[in-house]
Structure 1
């Protein structure tokens, strides 16, 4: 089975891109939407590029935390962050917001695996230990999680 290094999913949301961006970039709400993230510790208000936060995650019996740094914060356009664990690069997660021309938004969530280079074997082992998901199944697990997350955001922001 070939390993996927990135995936993305999209959904239509019945709210303008600025509204959807505000909700998604308020990372403390991620626990409401994500099937894996349970809570986020972050400062209040809009986060800017360079800001950091901590995600507390759970999958089945597995519980872990990650440190995150906002890499892109362009209101109404894109919000992304890099995830590290124990000082090792793990992934980049992001959201793109595009007007659908009818007052709504096409919201795209994307993930890119950063577990490459010298630290990759350790990062992959930690990923499997903490999440219970082997590297070859991570993209499929993330795709399923994205679909659930996007649907929950869509419902929460329905006008």
Structure 2
């Protein structure tokens, strides 16, 4: 059974400084070890925007499609993957006096993932446990890289 995943990091910045970086999902290839390209269809990213993501792991390459299902500036952005029904998100929680933020990346699979995705994970990506460990490691790298970009922009 697939698990919900969550990783967080603290960033010394205001909510909007973090939001301005983290909500630019076209930068995901810079942050995520698996994502190679993100194409936002139909203009600037907003609620309802559709995206195509190109992912790579070793020699394996695959595309996914997603729709932005939450877009709350300074607070939350979430996108649901069409292929497996997982919802990925970045949530911002202010700490102290809004000069530090906890940025949380989540993968929510509460609704379950598709049988086709489960088969692909088991057959091509080393099985669920291995793949989820790799995703969690990648989420930590993603958040660290976002923090670096926020600090450079501040």
What is the TM-score normalised by the length of structure 1? Answer: 0.84
Name 1:95's counterpart in structure 2: 90
Structure 1 residues without counterparts, runs of 5 or longer: none
- Which residue of 110, 118, 122 maps to 1:124? 118
Alignment length (residue pairs): 151
Kept in 2, the 8 Å contact 1:30–1:40? The answer is yes
Structure 1 residue runs of 4 or more that deviate by more than 4 Å after TM superposition = 43-46
Alpha-carbon offset, residue 133 of structure 1? 3.4
Alpha-carbon offset, residue 76 of structure 1? 0.7
RMSD (Å), alpha carbons: 2.1
What is the TM-score normalised by the length of structure 2? Answer: 0.87
Alignment of 1:5-154 (within 5 A): 5-43=3-41, 46-85=44-83, 89-102=84-97, 103-113=99-109, 116=112, 120-129=114-123, 132-154=125-147
**C-alpha separation in 2, matches of 1:133 and 1:23:** 32
Kept in 1, the 8 Å contact 2:42–2:50? The answer is no
**C-alpha separation in 1, matches of 2:16 and 2:44:** 12
Structure 2 residues without counterparts, runs of 5 or longer: none
Alpha-carbon offset, residue 123 of structure 1? 2.1
